[in-house]
Structure 1
Amino acid sequence: MSSMNILSIQSHVTFGHVGNSAAVFPLQRIGHEVWPVHTVNFSNHTGYGDWGGPLVSADDVTSIIDGIGRRGVFEDIDAIVSGYQGGPDIAGAIVDAVARIKEVNPNALYACDPVMGNEKSGCFVSDEIPPLLRDKVVPVADIISPNQFELGYLTGKKVGTLEETLDAIKAAQAIGPRVVLVTSVQRPETEEGSIEMIAADGDDAYIVKTPHLPFKRNGSGDVTTALFAGHYTETRDASVALGRTASSVFDLLQKTFEAGTEELQLVQSQEYFANPRLQFEVTKL
């Protein structure tokens, strides 16, 4: 297994696991070097309704990227990962960083989780973020990991059946990214008590089905994006990346569900990251 250098530009929380506090450790545990750049420095995720700590300005994010650049290591970066983008200026700083890194290393991959909202709660980011993601960020990404709701927004297409979902994936690829991972897929044909993920790489698409656990935990999407990006960057195989990611994330969620904790059992689940059980079959579509 080869170790990659992954630059992860995301939020940071001291207590709990979202953003970089969800992404960094799993990536390290599967054997990659992670260079975190924090976009906020909060006590906890905002879902608690109360938190302390500052937003990191886009200028400060860029200043950190500049400092990394002065070490002459842009060419060593294999992948850049980003998630929730708090403000429009942060999106600009990320897109700028991606452009500068790719200029030095055209093989570097940019994996973007276009966080906007979900089916149940609708959009939960500020109004200016979704169009910005669609028009500025997603076009420069190599990998995106939207849920069904976000895929529908990005492409302006109805996403329900398998056919509609694959059609929307094609439309998303036309915007820029070659690889599209659709998380939390529930379509009319999905078996009761199941949930699916679909990964497409160019013309090839793969699906995996796992049991659906009846609860939500902040940060699980961040872990999913990070693991998929790490595995894909290493193997360049969407099927392998999908199988490993689905296995690890299911076991993480099951462990958290059984523990009944508010936060992901991230450290307790580390063995599932390092050695995914591969208990779910990946099927080519």
Structure 2
Amino acid sequence: MAILSIQSRVSYGYVGNSIAVPAIQAAGLEAWPLDTVSFSNHPGHGRFTGEVRSAAELDAQIDGLTALGVMDGLSAVLSGYLGLPDTAAVVASAIDRTRASNPTVPFVLDPVIGDNGRHFVRDGVAEAIFEKLLPRADIVTPNLYELGVLSGATLTNETDVITAAARNLIRKSRLVAVAITGIERSDTISSLLVFDDTHYEAITPRLDRGFNGTGDLFAALLTAWFVRSGDIRSAFARAAGGLDIATRITANVGSMELVLPAILKNLKTLRPATLLQSQ
């Protein structure tokens, strides 16, 4: 079983494919990375070097995989940070090519747009995600800000508000589920898995620091365990449990970059998060 993971790559730190690939492999699956950018480090450090890969270059790489005949064997497609608006069309093409031979291959969309009230992608990327990728998605994994962008509204952290926005997106885009991460409250942080008729919440104590790559890790674990189990709820519980482990380990060493070796070691004995169910 293999997952095509289309997102960023950094040399220092663990975001995008730098965290997604080992997380998918830790779940016992193959990961085929397609890097949309190659940066020295996460731009959140204030400076970075590197380049954004063109849509033509990425499309040629998909052509190469297609020519090998291996696209038929994919178990899922996962996309994250795009780099350019035109990259959305490459992701869409990869999904369409895969589904030409296997229409049931799931597509998990991590709509990397921004956080905490601000965009950090280029102009046109959010629109391309909405137009090209959202209609093809089965599961979407936004943070609260990104859910607001996709919904066209500014959202509060109240559960009723979030679930209403997610269900509106589910119905309009014919999604199976929306998994929202990083919902901060006074002393907790939670993730919500929303279906059309019910939702589940995983709640952990809030750690007083920020981390790079947590959303990328969550989306990768969710995708991997969904492929393995076929059950979104259990995959969500494992992804939330993995995220809790990762942030606790990283906080203990005082880092904002995920401490990958220790995280991978602990993922081997991962305990799913406890979920609270509501209508």
TM-score (norm 2): 0.93
4+ residue stretches of structure 1 with deviation over 4 A? none
- Structure 2: any 5+ residue segments left out of the alignment? none
Spell out, residue by residue over 1:174-216, the C-alpha distance to the aligned partner (whole angstroms, 9 max, x if none): 2232121011123xxx5x3111111124433211111111111
Q: Is 1:252 matched up with 2:239?
A: no
Q: 1:158, 1:164 within 8 Å by CA — same for their partners in 2?
A: no
Alignment-mate amino acid for residue 283 of structure 1: L
Match in the other structure for 2:81: 84
Aligned-partner Cα distance in 2 for 1:44–1:158? 30
SS in structure 2 opposite 1:10?
strand
Match in the other structure for 1:151: 147
Name which of structure 1's ranges 194-203 and 53-62 shifts more when overlaid on structure 2.
194-203
Aligned-partner Cα distance in 1 for 2:35–2:131? 24
Q: 1:201, 1:238 within 8 Å by CA — same for their partners in 2?
A: no
Aligned-partner Cα distance in 2 for 1:140–1:239? 21
Aligned partner of 1:135 among 131, 135, 160:
131
Map of 1:133-212 to 2, 5 A cutoff? 133-160=129-156, 161-173=158-170, 174-186=172-184, 190=185, 192-212=186-206
Deviation at residue 151 of structure 1 after TM alignment = 0.9
Spell out, residue by residue over 1:129-162, the C-alpha distance to the aligned partner (whole angstroms, 9 max, x if none): 2222122211111111011111111112453322
SS in structure 2 opposite 1:263?
coil
SS in structure 2 opposite 1:107?
coil
SS in structure 1 opposite 2:52?
coil
- Structure 1: any 5+ residue segments left out of the alignment? none
Deviation at residue 251 of structure 1 after TM alignment = 1.0
Structure 1 residues 32 and 202: CA distance shift in structure 2, 3 A: farther
Spell out, residue by residue over 1:95-125, the C-alpha distance to the aligned partner (whole angstroms, 9 max, x if none): 1111111111112111111111123x42222
Aligned-partner Cα distance in 1 for 2:147–2:181? 10
CA RMSD, Structure 1 to Structure 2 (Å): 1.6
Q: 2:6, 2:35 within 8 Å by CA — same for their partners in 1?
A: yes
Q: Is 1:117 matched up with 2:117?
A: no
Aligned-partner Cα distance in 2 for 1:234–1:143? 15
SS in structure 1 opposite 2:262?
coil
Alignment-mate amino acid for residue 151 of structure 2: T
How many residues were matched structurally?
276
Match in the other structure for 2:104: 107
Aligned-partner Cα distance in 2 for 1:272–1:176? 36
Alignment-mate amino acid for residue 182 of structure 1: I
Name which of structure 1's ranges 50-59 and 133-142 shifts more when overlaid on structure 2.
50-59
Map of 1:33-72 to 2, 5 A cutoff? 33-72=30-69
Aligned-partner Cα distance in 1 for 2:39–2:163? 37
Spell out, residue by residue over 1:44-91, the C-alpha distance to the aligned partner (whole angstroms, 9 max, x if none): 222223323322111111111111111111121011111111111111
**What is the aligned-residue identity percentage?**
33
Q: Is 1:282 matched up with 2:275?
A: yes
Name which of structure 1's ranges 171-180 and 219-228 shifts more when overlaid on structure 2.
171-180
Q: 2:138, 2:175 within 8 Å by CA — same for their partners in 1?
A: yes
Q: 2:36, 2:81 within 8 Å by CA — same for their partners in 1?
A: no
SS in structure 2 opposite 1:281?
coil
Deviation at residue 38 of structure 1 after TM alignment = 1.0
